[in-house]
Structure 1
């Protein structure tokens, strides 16, 4: 076998391509094309989303927050990166510090560089953020905000226990630290602990997207502000820029799908597919332990899994024709962080996934103690 021509890429943590989603998209676009109001929508910017978009965003976020949300606190953006750029630029002035997990969403470091802020990382373990180290970092660095992914963490797939969430909230309050909570994959598990935003809505900016639970091409992001006064400060900074405005077609699709239940149907289909892919994972990755969450789009192979050279997982996988993302890609600040690799379960069909995991299992088994 010529591996170079048969590379299996287990890299992108995006929803799998499902025929049912393509069918729904085709039908939705046909319906929109027959709606005379759609043409008018393309002649106007959607500053923070129109009222229907914001209400749809509130409805989608309410499923996680567990309470009715004032749609006026909801902002509709052109995806999560836009949301994060707006929030970091508004909450973390140049020269100040943003805290995040020792391994985190790689673009956080880039966004901080763009606005002149510094990112510092907090220690993590097999459960997520270590509260004692979060407290130490707050005392040492005096951060303005913390960016956290407590549910299906990227890249480690951990679920931060509820008691730790409560500890993080207490520490953040004590030190005057705002929290930016990214809940990207939180709709995929059948149940998960309540978001930090539901424990501390007054200090938390809650970020959610439809990209992980419907389709990555639906470039719609939502964030919920603690209150209208704080939201006005964000608007004041970005009101003359249109790069964060949602595309009309994406906003129309997202709002229709939330309103008529289509988003829930797609989410159900993705959950079902991911349950099957996790079954394949269990069957094929038998020799090396990993961290996962129910229906998560990715899993994490950690250094504690018995590997002699955990830092080289991506290299070992590549030698067998499998591409995964190594830990260094997620190290957003210079400090000790867990070694390992993120393995996506969503690329290709189930047979492709099985092939990739089988190769990965063989590659890593030879490197176990």
Structure 2
């Protein structure tokens, strides 16, 4: 075999031939390609050049390499994000991709809230610029809301933001620098991955066990790398649904104190978990930034969130809010605080806990026989797929049935990306949800047989 360097023109011809065969369907999705060594022998290439061919095809999104399994043709009809980042839900699509849990009567609730706001004497003030972190009485209102849920904070430690995603971006912009190393679960919230990419953070994965993130793995990681922060969802983890127990939380705090880590605690879904252990913020207020909002417990269109941080970090975060949105959303914040004070938020949270449990019951029945990872009060679940089933093929087959799901790719920080799909249960009315879940089970079964 000739192992001399291959002229660039020939190397590109091999890449182009593969790309053409994939685009035409001559190499259909799921096709296992020759090993690097086999390709080198067949084409008379150096092994390093064969590896470059596959690397370029992978960079083009045409193939995926899976450790221990080989290189496979990807389903190019599916967006590279495989779901939650880019895939818009078309009209008529049964959406198991995004969660926007709503209850009957919430539109009327909004009408009533707007009428009440219009009658208030403070309406004109809402048309002017607000303080960067929110008006003092509204910060105090949200602090009381947290105190009722077992987390005591001072209003001065709380900043109102334009939704929890903006809160996470504010934390990153204010407290981290490009190149900083942030430890995250090997499967983590896709929205934080997007922020990390935009701000050029290096995400390093914490290994997962059957019950949650492996803190011994985090400890080893801290000895090898200069980790600056840990991003975590200890209560209703997205996508896995875990609620970490008290000893796990205390162990994470101990590691953070030993290694000087900042903890970024995402509590977007925490309201769904009854009786959860104390938040990390309660265990280590001096090093924890707590982020949540009102998108899931009220409505996703209400872009109101909050960040709780140690006092010494608040000025930097105020500057980040000023740089991104100048001030908090005054009208929306006033609506939310009104609903906190009249008990509407507490009532909606209680109703959504019941609703989520009902949907999990429907899912367990519709998907009986499949492996599932979830929490009884979660609005999503994780479906690891059988060994012979590829997630991209399942997702595309479901798209052809007008059902949108997400694969593991948007959530994965380490490789290989597991073949699994995440199902969001909170967006469809129950009858349509059951219909969609039965189709999911059928499609997975078709590929498994």
Whether the TM-score (by the shorter chain) exceeds 0.5 is: yes
Q: 2:147 maps to which residue?
A: 62
Q: How far 1:271 sits from its partner (Å)?
A: 2.0
> Does the aligned pair in 1 maintain the 2:374–2:380 contact within 8 Å?
yes
> Does the aligned pair in 2 maintain the 1:77–1:221 contact within 8 Å?
yes
Q: 1:116 maps to which residue?
A: 200
Q: How far 1:199 sits from its partner (Å)?
A: 1.7
Q: How far 1:327 sits from its partner (Å)?
A: 0.2
For residues 6 and 259 of structure 1, the distance between their equivalents in structure 2, rounded to whole angstroms, comes to 38
Q: How far 1:363 sits from its partner (Å)?
A: 1.7
Q: 2:316 aligns with which of 233, 249, 256?
A: 233
Alignment of 1:173 with 2:253, yes or no, is no
Q: 1:250 maps to which residue?
A: 332
Name the structure, 1 or 2, with higher relative contact order (CA <8 Å, separation 6+). Answer: 1
Partner deviation per Cα, 1:62-94 (whole Å, 9 max, x = no partner): 344x24321110110011122111211222222
For residues 320 and 396 of structure 2, the distance between their equivalents in structure 1, rounded to whole angstroms, comes to 42
Q: 1:83 maps to which residue?
A: 167
SS in 1 for 2:323: coil
Q: 1:10 maps to which residue?
A: 96
For residues 350 and 120 of structure 2, the distance between their equivalents in structure 1, rounded to whole angstroms, comes to 27
Q: 2:107 maps to which residue?
A: 22
Q: 1:104 maps to which residue?
A: 188
Alignment of 1:53 with 2:138, yes or no, is yes
Counterparts of 1:230-309 in structure 2, within 5 Å, are 230-235=313-318, 237-238=319-320, 240-241=322-323, 243=325, 245-303=327-385, 306-309=386-389
> Does the aligned pair in 1 maintain the 2:268–2:291 contact within 8 Å?
yes
Partner deviation per Cα, 1:193-251 (whole Å, 9 max, x = no partner): 222222212111011111111111111111111x212223333x426425163211110
SS in 1 for 2:268: coil
> Does the aligned pair in 2 maintain the 1:49–1:245 contact within 8 Å?
yes
Q: How far 1:191 sits from its partner (Å)?
A: 2.4
- Extract unaligned runs of 5+ from structure 2: 1-89
Q: TM-score normalised to the size of structure 2?
A: 0.75
> Does the aligned pair in 1 maintain the 2:161–2:321 contact within 8 Å?
no
- Choose 271-280 or 142-151, whichever is displaced more: 271-280
SS in 1 for 2:333: helix
Q: 2:409 maps to which residue?
A: 328
For residues 204 and 348 of structure 2, the distance between their equivalents in structure 1, rounded to whole angstroms, comes to 37
For residues 257 and 415 of structure 2, the distance between their equivalents in structure 1, rounded to whole angstroms, comes to 25
When the two structures are aligned, how many residues end up with a matched partner? 359
For residues 253 and 7 of structure 1, the distance between their equivalents in structure 2, rounded to whole angstroms, comes to 31
User: Which structure has the greater CA radius of gyration?
Assistant: 2
SS in 2 for 1:53: helix
CA RMSD of aligned residues (A): 2.2
SS in 1 for 2:196: helix
Q: 2:19 maps to which residue?
A: none
SS in 1 for 2:374: coil
> Does the aligned pair in 1 maintain the 2:321–2:327 contact within 8 Å?
no
> Does the aligned pair in 1 maintain the 2:360–2:379 contact within 8 Å?
no
SS in 2 for 1:98: strand
- Extract unaligned runs of 5+ from structure 1: none
- Choose 340-349 or 4-13, whichever is displaced more: 4-13
